[in-house]
Amino acid sequence: MEHVTLTTRRLLLRPLEPLDTEAVFLACQDPDIQRWTTIPSPYERQHAEYFLEQVVPEGLRSRTMFHFAVEPRSGGPLLASVNVHNHTGTWEVGYWTVKEHRGHGYATEAVGAIARWAFGALGVQRLEWRAEAGNEGSRTVAEKAGFVFEGVLRAALMTRDTVRDVWIGALLPSDLGPSSADAA
């Protein structure tokens, strides 16, 4: 599949690439990203290199994961990362925001853009959001992006040798209005 670039009013979403290694490595030093996501902790440069040189291209080749860097539309630093992925037959969204860029709505805007793209370009009929129970920041982004909270999956996530509960929500094309399935 071709590399896809998406734009919103304020943002450019482009495929993550090996040139992003330093920015991803630095962003993932944030204790909150390490706490609330499933990335390795501690997060070392080799993790960023492997992710950007192996995981991202393989996801694109297999059409099972599409990872985007989120930057200001007018140019500037990495603000966030968003992705859609399908590991078990269900498409899910994932994201994190660079610490100093939180609170500006970038993740919400990027999640909305990637959802519209997934509904149109990939033909996704249901996009799920999952986060460890208690991750209020992730839940806020998901709900502002239109995801409907559906409940708790008990003991559904093994992370750092601990089983944790997971919040789950979903977004359907109809939740975004009649033209969302056509927006690719």
The pLDDT value recorded for residue 2 is 65
The pTM of the full predicted model, rounded to 2 decimals, is: 0.93
pLDDT (average), residues 71-90: 95
User: Is the pLDDT assigned to residue 66 strictly greater than 50?
Assistant: yes
The pLDDT value recorded for residue 179 is 54
The pLDDT value recorded for residue 177 is 78
Residue positions counted in the chain: 184
The pLDDT value recorded for residue 88 is 85
User: Is the pLDDT assigned to residue 68 strictly greater than 60?
Assistant: yes
User: Is the pLDDT assigned to residue 183 strictly greater than 80?
Assistant: no
The more confidently predicted of residues 17 and 1 is 17
The pLDDT value recorded for residue 100 is 97
